Amino acid sequence: MRSLTNAELAELTRRESRLRLLLIVVLPIGGALMWLALDRIEILVASLMVMAIELALLGLQKIWLRWGRHLLALDYVTMVMDVLAITIGLHFLGGAEFPFDWIYAVMLASISIARGMGTGLIMAQWCTLAYGALLWAEYTGALPHMALFPIFVASPLYNNSQYVIAKLISNAAIFNLAALNAAFFSATLQHKVEERTRELRRAQAQLLHSQKLANLGQLAASLAHGFASPVTGIRGSAELLLEELPPGSSSYRRVEQILHWSDHLARILDRLRNLARPPEEVRKPVDINQVVRNVLELVEKLLRQSRVVVQEQLAPDLPLVVGAAPQLEELVMNLVMNARDAMPDGGTLTITTTREDGFVRLVVRDTGIGMTAEVQRHLFEPFFTTKGKQGTGLGLNICRQIVVDHGGRISVQSADGQGTAFTVDLPLRGEEWRRLVR
């Protein structure tokens, strides 16, 4: 365990002095009550003695804290003195035989928790020494065997050598075990807290990252929006120019190209705006083939740059499904981008659509790195990514959400090093689908 800083020691000392103050108030009251009840003035004397030690310690702590230096030494001085106070109290109450020696163990446990095992063990030896000295002194008669309660006067155990040795050994064991045990449990707890804190930090960072992505999406949308009117302007001028040119001339053909490409640009901007738009709940009949074409148009260049060859195998007689086109585009986009990421040295991306019994099937297949069974197990969990800082781990989670929203299913087939195929089944508009949506 790391050692405490000065600030932590100061805080610890302040908290302890509040406890000490309480003790100082309680001690004389308790002593006086016992004196009245048992008619033995020594009880009051003993409690006043302990109180005096605690009062002195309190003063020392206050002054030392104001000085503010060598707080570790102050900590040790107070701990050492506290053990002495306990020993004195024990001596007056009944000495070796008084069954309150567990109080050392309680103190050692709290020392161990607050200051770590090293300090706990050092203080355990000091407790053993102090307690052993008390036993020895009473055994040899160097100190009279005090007993505030008559029962302990009757007992001659304090001068029985076997009893004294057994007591010393058993208490030394208790003291050390108390310090060790408390240190062990507080270390375990601390470890758990640190682990949870790390997890929390990670989740926070991910959240921040997805927030950043959302902001980026909005930025892209506003950029697309800003581009829209210049493109309309270019298109309008080109149309006017076209009217003035003789059809069939080379200038006419060039302006036609301008028109063609500005249309293309307008469509891309539209896609971009749709992608960034929050999912709208308007459901219409959607042609999945068109969804695939829209996405591919948007990422065509990107795929070419990554040396990915695209194969479209789109069923010509594909029935329409009912859904939200922007969401379905996002779904296909995520699958396509994942496929690209899986083929860093290029490869083939095959997108197949087929008409099945009651549903439309879309398969996105790549010839990339594939994935292990372990990765497949966590695939759809939010924030699961193997791409480090490059990934968000949100793509497939969103995909699954979209598919489920459409009453469909998504599954994966993959082997490590052998490519991957994602299969999405979207139900046709039928009784079952209606039930799922409503």
Residues found near ligand ADP in the complex (CB under 6 A):
334, 338-339, 342, 366, 368-371, 375, 379, 384-387, 391-397, 420
Number of alpha helices (DSSP H) and beta strands (DSSP E) in the chain: 13, 7
Backbone angles phi, psi at 124, to 5 degrees: -60, -40
Does residue 368 belong to the site contacting Mg ion (CB under 5 A)?
no
183 vs 394, beta carbon nearer ligand ADP: 394
**DSSP H or E stretch at residue 363:** strand 359-366
Residue 379's binding partner, choosing from ligand ADP, Mg ion, none, with beta-carbon cut-off 5 to 8 A by kind?
ligand ADP
Question: Rounded to the nearest whole angstrom, what is the least distance from the CB of residue 200 to ligand ADP in the complex?
Answer: 21
238 vs 331, beta carbon nearer ligand ADP: 331
**DSSP H or E stretch at residue 410:** strand 409-414
In angstroms, the Cα distances linking 272 to 26, 277, 291, 406 are 75, 9, 14, 22
Residue 375's binding partner, choosing from Mg ion, ligand ADP, none, with beta-carbon cut-off 5 to 8 A by kind?
ligand ADP
| Most distant CA pair in the chain, distance | 131
Residue closest to ligand ADP when measured from CB atoms: 395
**Of 21, 115, 9, the residue nearest 67 (C-alpha):** 9
Token pair recorded at residue 101 = 């020696």
Question: Rounded to the nearest whole angstrom, what is the least distance from the CB of residue 359 to ligand ADP in the complex?
Answer: 22
Dihedral in degrees, nearest 10, Cα atoms 168, 170, 172, 175: -130
Q: Which residues of 253-288 are buried (b: 16+ CB within 10 A; e: fewer)?
A: eebeebbeebeebbebbebbbbbbeeeeeebeebbb
165 vs 207, beta carbon nearer Mg ion: 207
176 vs 392, beta carbon nearer ligand ADP: 392
CB-facing half-sphere around the CA of 359: CA atoms within 13 A: 16
111 vs 364, beta carbon nearer ligand ADP: 364
Token pair recorded at residue 370 = 């594939």
Question: Rounded to the nearest whole angstrom, what is the least distance from the CB of residue 383 to Mg ion in the complex?
Answer: 12
Question: Rounded to the nearest whole angstrom, what is the least distance from the CB of residue 110 to ligand ADP in the complex?
Answer: 48
Residue 269's binding partner, choosing from ligand ADP, Mg ion, none, with beta-carbon cut-off 5 to 8 A by kind?
none
Q: What is the CA radius of gyration of the chain?
A: 40
Question: Rounded to the nearest whole angstrom, what is the least distance from the CB of residue 338 to ligand ADP in the complex?
Answer: 3
**Of 144, 114, 149, 92, the residue nearest 14 (C-alpha):** 114
Q: Which stretch binds Mg ion (CB under 5 A): 38-46, 246-254, 345-353, 388-396?
A: 388-396
Spell out, one character per residue from 132 to 171, where the chain touches Mg ion: x when CB under 5 A holds, - when not: ----------------------------------------
Q: Say how far apart CA 26 and CA 32 lie, in whole Å.
A: 10
Question: Rounded to the nearest whole angstrom, what is the least distance from the CB of residue 368 to ligand ADP in the complex?
Answer: 5
Q: Say how far apart CA 387 and CA 371 lie, in whole Å.
A: 12
18 vs 377, beta carbon nearer ligand ADP: 377
261 vs 384, beta carbon nearer ligand ADP: 384
Does residue 393 belong to the site contacting Mg ion (CB under 5 A)?
no
Residue 85's binding partner, choosing from Mg ion, ligand ADP, none, with beta-carbon cut-off 5 to 8 A by kind?
none
**DSSP H or E stretch at residue 312:** strand 308-314
Does residue 395 belong to the site contacting Mg ion (CB under 5 A)?
yes
Residue 393's binding partner, choosing from ligand ADP, Mg ion, none, with beta-carbon cut-off 5 to 8 A by kind?
ligand ADP
Q: Which of residues 326-355 bind Mg ion (CB under 5 A)?
A: 338
Residue 427's binding partner, choosing from Mg ion, ligand ADP, none, with beta-carbon cut-off 5 to 8 A by kind?
none
Question: Which positions touch Mg ion (CB under 5 A)?
Answer: 338, 395
